Each structure stands twice: as C-alpha cells, then as structure tokens.
C-alpha cells in the first residue's frame, strides 16, 4: 500500500521532506528559487500540477542534481522574509522605495514592468504571477533574490514610473 504524503506545509522551516507544491502554495515567491536551482518543469503549468503535488524538496534536488542544503537555505530565506513582511502594508507613491511590493508597483506604474523584465523577472510577464506572488515580495527582497544592486534598480524603476 502506497504511503500518502502530507501536502500541507508545517509552520516550522521548509525541510527536505516538504512537498514542493505545498511550499509553492504557501510561498509562491519561492518559484524563482526553484527555477534558479534548475527545477524548470515548474515553468509548465501542467507539469507543475503533476509533479509539485507529490515531489518532496529532496526528490526535486535529485531530479535536477541540485545542492539540497543550498536550496533549503534559499527557500527558508524567502520564507523568513515573507513571514516577516506579512504584516507590512505599503501604499505605492513616488518615489518607489525598497519597501514597496513588486506587484503593487507594476499595478500602479505599468511602465515599470519592462524594467523588471529587463532584469530577469521573466515570471512577471504572467499577469497571474503579478497579482499573486509579486504582491508578497518587496523591491528589496526581489533585488536580493535576483542579485541586483538596489539603488540603481530603484533609480530605473522611478525613472520608468515618471518619478525621476
């Protein structure tokens, strides 16, 4: 008889036994981390639905030959940042700052979307990602995740938004 895996994400850290789909459901902003570590089947919605719901983090690292400890560290950094900012609320006004949420910035200033796309935020081309994931990630978190120098990035976003 096949053992069923718990598909919920515990309140503690993300572990090797966490289900990819549960992590993505609770922390959709981790999608970029999974993709950076080579778990590209998640790009395809059909494959994502089929694989993520039954694959543990450890199994995912074996599929793509990724470093388990490095992936867990990256996922838990995102989890900690999201959990810490869960109570934060921002209103978008110029100038755009490091504390603004990506999704709110692209919604208030659609011209900034091109800046994000030019800096490797390809997932923001998907309107659903902008409405969900991007509304939980600050500009500072996004620049850290993508290895982008924050002040220059903010300058480009503000220029695109018409704020200098």
* CATH at 31: 1.10.3910
Mean pLDDT throughout 83-96? Answer: 70
Q: Considering the domain boundaries, does residue 154 fall inside one?
A: yes
Q: Where are the beta strands (DSSP E) in 17-131?
A: none
The answer on 111 and 151 residing in a single domain is: yes
The count of domains in the chain is 2
The answer on 109 and 145 residing in a single domain is: yes
* Per-residue model confidence (pLDDT) at position 93: 82
Domain range enclosing 71: 20-85
Range 33-69 burial, b when 16+ CB lie within 10 A, else e: bbebbebebbeeeeebeebbeebbbeebbeeeebeee
DSSP letter at 11 equals S
Mean pLDDT throughout 76-82? Answer: 83
Can you tell me the distance from the alpha carbon of 85 to that of 81, in angstroms, rounded to the nearest whole number?
Answer: 6
Q: Which of 60, 85, 110 is the last residue of a domain?
A: 85
pLDDT, one tens digit per residue, over 16-67 is 999 999 998 888 888 888 988 999 988 888 888 888 889 999 999 999 999 9
- Beta carbons within 8 Å of 105's beta carbon, 6+ residues apart: 92, 96, 112, 139, 157, 161
Mean pLDDT throughout 63-88? Answer: 84
- Beta carbons within 8 Å of 44's beta carbon, 6+ residues apart: none
Q: How confident is the model at residue 153 (pLDDT cuts 50, 70, 90)?
A: very high
The answer on 63 and 24 residing in a single domain is: yes
**56 vs 79, higher pLDDT:** 56
Q: How confident is the model at residue 131 (pLDDT cuts 50, 70, 90)?
A: confident
Distance of CA 115 to the CA centre of its chain: 17
> Quick one: tokens of 89?
């609320």
* Per-residue model confidence (pLDDT) at position 6: 45
Q: Considering the domain boundaries, does residue 7 fall inside one?
A: no
The answer on 120 and 73 residing in a single domain is: no
Work out the burial of residue 11: count CB atoms within 10 Å of its CB; fewer than 13 is exposed, 13-18 middle, 19 or more buried: exposed
Count H helices and E strands in the chain, helices first: 10, 0
The answer on 138 and 107 residing in a single domain is: yes
Mean pLDDT throughout 103-122? Answer: 93
pLDDT, one tens digit per residue, over 139-148 is 998 998 889 9
Q: Considering the domain boundaries, does residue 111 fall inside one?
A: yes
The answer on 107 and 81 residing in a single domain is: no
* Per-residue model confidence (pLDDT) at position 106: 92
The answer on 107 and 155 residing in a single domain is: yes
């Amino acid at each position: 008889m096949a053992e069923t895996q718990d598909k919920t994400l515990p309140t503690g850290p993300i572990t090797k036994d966490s289900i990819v789909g549960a992590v993505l459901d609770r922390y959709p902003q981790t999608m970029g981390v999974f993709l950076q570590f080579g778990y590209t089947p998640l790009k395809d919605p059909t494959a994502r639905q089929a694989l993520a719901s039954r694959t543990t983090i450890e199994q995912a690292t074996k599929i793509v030959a990724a470093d388990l400890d490095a992936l867990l560290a990256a996922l838990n950094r995102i989890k900690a940042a999201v959990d810490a900012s869960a109570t934060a609320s921002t209103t978008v006004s110029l100038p755009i700052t490091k504390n603004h949420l990506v999704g709110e910035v692209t919604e208030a200033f659609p011209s900034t979307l091109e800046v994000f796309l030019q800096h490797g935020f390809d997932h923001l081309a998907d309107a659903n990602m902008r409405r969900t994931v991007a509304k939980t990630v600050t500009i500072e978190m996004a620049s850290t995740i993508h290895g982008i120098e924050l002040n220059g990035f903010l300058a480009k976003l503000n220029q695109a938004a018409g704020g200098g």
